[in-house]
Each structure stands twice: as structure tokens, then as C-alpha cells.
Amino acid sequence: MDSYCTVYREGTGEIVEKKSRFIARVFPVTSEEAAFEYLEAVKKEHWDARHHCWAYIIGRKPVNERMSDDGEPSGTAGKPILEVLRGKGLTDVFVVVTRYFGGTLLGTGGLVRAYSGAAAEGLAHTEIITRIHGAKLKIDTDYTGAGKIQYLLGQRKLTVLDSIYTEKVEFLVLVPEEEKNAVKKEIMEVSCGQAGVEEQCECWFACTTDGIQITEE
């Protein structure tokens, strides 16, 4: 299936290690410019913090990755944050971890654990979704075929966006790209060739706490 995981909304998480505060902010982004705008906003909000370490993953095939230790020892901050994002299989995401120094040095291992833990805590307080590539299909049928088509859509667990009942029945359905041809074929089979199937547009869709979110191409 052509799909990817990302964050749906912003999130914040915080951990404390030996009196140092590590505050993680998570943002959905689709460009480096957007990531850096969030970074500047975080720096302005936490102007008195010692470090603002960050990482992002943007895009798919190819993926664009960047990270920054922002003054921490090399490899102890940006890379651990990036590894958390990789481990979750995420893209189009930016995480910045702000550190308020607590007076005790944590050492290399301690810093790696702290920045990893903060990034994970931030992600735990956001919403991770899977966006699926597919299409909107409009299906026209008579009342005789409507029940069979409804059963087929239910068996395939497809999302029906709308059902309109007039002199005929019309369904607007989201179908993953890899299922599209098979669904079209099965609709024609169960309706004995009487149903009409029109592909309205290609899109990306995802189930969220706010309902189905659709981005048309």
C-alpha cells in the first residue's frame, strides 16, 4: 500500500534529568522553511534556554533529513532525536528539544538518553496518523444493486463519504490505490454491469480524531 506515517497535530512533552529540563515540541511540516519558522518561534519563547536541538524528516523518495546539536557535544542531541523519528517511521515532522541546564553535566550517554527520551515524550503527546494514497470513486446504481454494493464496500472496509438516495443511489467512496481496480471490477460484477463508476480525483486520506482528512491532488 502506498502510505506513510506522520504527525497530525503539534505536541509537547517534557522530561527532567538531574535538574535539567528537556522540553520537546513536535510539529507537522512539509518544508524546511516551515521547520525553521517553528524553530525561531521556539527560540523566541524559550529565549533564556541554553540549547535548542532539533531534527526533521521531510518528504518521501527521496527523504530529506537534517539535525542540529546546537552546541551540545557532537552526536548527543540532534542524532538521537532523528533516530527516534526514524524508529517511528515518520516523515513530514520536525522536533525541537529545548534544554534548560540544571547545573549537573550528564555525560555523553546521559545526553543521548535525555534527548531521545524527550523526543519520544513529545511524540507521545501528539497524534500519529497514516496517510493513504487512493481515489474518490462515485458509484451510481439502481436500488436493486445498492444493497449488494453496500455489502461489498462493507466487506472491504472502505470509507463511504456520502450516500444519496433519489431516483437512483449514489455512493462517494474512498479507495486505496492498490484496491481501486479490483473494487471497480467487483462493483460491475455484483451489479451485472449496471452500475456506473467514476473516479473523481486522486487523493491522500487519513483517519484522525477529527474524522477523515482528505488532501486532493
CATH number of this structure's domain 3-126: 3.30.230.30
How far apart are alpha carbons 51 and 153 in whole angstroms?
52
CATH number of this structure's domain 131-216: 3.30.70.240
CA dihedral 7, 8, 12, 18 (to 10 degrees): -20
Q: Which residues of 152-169 are buried (b: 16+ CB within 10 A; e: fewer)?
A: bbeeeebbeeeeeeeeeb
Do 122 and 188 meet the contact criterion of CB atoms below 8 Å apart?
A: no
Could you tell me the pLDDT band of residue 170, with boundaries at 50, 70 and 90? very high
How much is the pLDDT for 92?
Answer: 97
Domain borders along the chain are: 3-126, 131-216
Q: What is the mean pLDDT of residues 36-45?
A: 97
**Is residue 117 over pLDDT 70?**
yes
Q: Whole-model pTM?
A: 0.88
Secondary structure of residue 73 in the 3-state scheme: coil
